Amino acid sequence: MSMAIGHFAFGAAMTTPLVMILVPTVRYARTSVLLGGGWAMLPDFHWASPVASQQLRAIHRTLAEADHDLLILCNFGDGTPTFEAPESLDTDDATVVLANREDPAADPAAVELRPYEAAIYRLF
């Protein structure tokens, strides 16, 4: 298992910089926060609840050299789980970077995700 994870991590580390350089311009701004830095799965109710544990994932991604962080929210189920940002996470000036729905929630402080919804927020 650890060899498979190591293989994936090495492949992702080699592919990501090439894609950032070679891919034509897209309508979404590119960000270096995804290339390096620390990330954390945010603890919340969905970790303690057996009902929502398989549906909602929240990842906070940060890079010391960047002027922003990323918050990635994904609902992997057909329910509508609610994400509530911890007080330590400043979501006041958040903007939507990418979403799979036309009208994602503007403020990620408290979001009720629709079935199979995902959104990436830039936190300043």
**For 12, which DSSP code?**
H
Read off the pTM.
Answer: 0.61
Residues of the chain with pLDDT under 70: 1-4, 6-8, 12, 14, 16-54
> Can you read off the two tokens belonging to residue 99?
């979403």
What pLDDT digit, counting tens, does each position of 42-59 carry?
A: 444 444 554 445 577 787
In the chain, % of residues over pLDDT 90: 22
In the chain, % of residues over pLDDT 70: 57
d(CA 41, CA 37): 14
Domains of the chain: 31-123 (2.60.40.1180)
Contact by Cβ (8 Å): 31, 100: no
